[in-house]
Chains A and B, each alone.
Chain A
């Protein structure tokens, strides 16, 4: 039961992130099409993007799935994979599913370029968020320890 609940939590987290990735892919695609004078995306293309985003999201989660501290070289390798593998998967999705057939080459370059920038942007946003959170946590810990020492001094 515990394992099942844990899996469900991870699955939910992955799906939320996949929805964001899907939304970004579809928005970029539609924006590009609007610029070249088209205004639609097919149901199958939307499903293919959702599937690609789901795969990207799972890979990003799997890279940091273990309950252990990731530091040094291990962290750097995983961070690189967190960025590089989704880029490759997006490239594979776009090429494999033929999202850019009958479209100008510039369209594909624009789509991939912005998607790659988006993945790196997400990574830096996450890092910034955890950096801020770390500072907040350490402030709490410092306050806690000061209270602890004060009590020890008073008891002496």
Chain B
């Protein structure tokens, strides 16, 4: 891919612009756009009276409980104001951050999965780096296997 960086085309403080010239936007181009679009993006986490700026790459997993979505970090849990679907659209399958939907109510950051355990009923347990365990249902376990085999989602799963 030919890369050209043109400096001095924007005023100081003005948002930089990325333009991709291509014949057709394939999966790689879409991943680049998603990555560029997510750069510097962050989430607002709420925990009681505390509010915190959360970097998406620091989040181990998201879990939806009673219509609320929680972001699990290594030591703390924060409620975020976005739906799991919105987070999935924004962060899964991109570059740099890689979340994977593991059940109807949970999405894990594969970067923080310490190891996986295959278990009865063709389900998988994801052991996260903070010691917690996340159950991956049979349906999503199948998708995860295909995704890991395809290697970073380069192929259709």
Contacts and interface: CB of A to CB of B under 8 A. Distances in A.
Contact of A134 (B95, B110, B118): B118
Interface stretch (A33-41, A86-94, A107-115, A145-153): A145-153
A51 to B, nearest CB: 24
Contact of B95 (A141, A143, A144, A151): A151
Given A130-B118, A143-B151, A151-B95, A67 B124 contact: no
Interface residues of A, number: 24
Interface in A17-67: 64-65, 67
B135 A69 contact: yes
A20 B149 CA distance: 31
A133 B134 CA distance: 18
Contacts of B145: 137, 140
Interface string B106-127: 0000110101111111011100
Nearest to B149: A140
B91 to A, nearest CB: 14
Nearest to B154: A147
A144 B152 contact: yes
A131 B111 CA distance: 23
Given A140-B148, A147-B152, A67 B135 contact: yes
Contact of A148 (B111, B135, B137): B111
A130 B117 CA distance: 8
A144 B153 CA distance: 10
Interface of B: 95-96, 98, 103, 110-111, 113, 115-121, 123-125, 133-135, 137, 145, 148-149, 151-152
Interface of A: 64-65, 67-71, 126, 130-131, 133-134, 137-138, 140-141, 143-145, 147-148, 151-152, 155
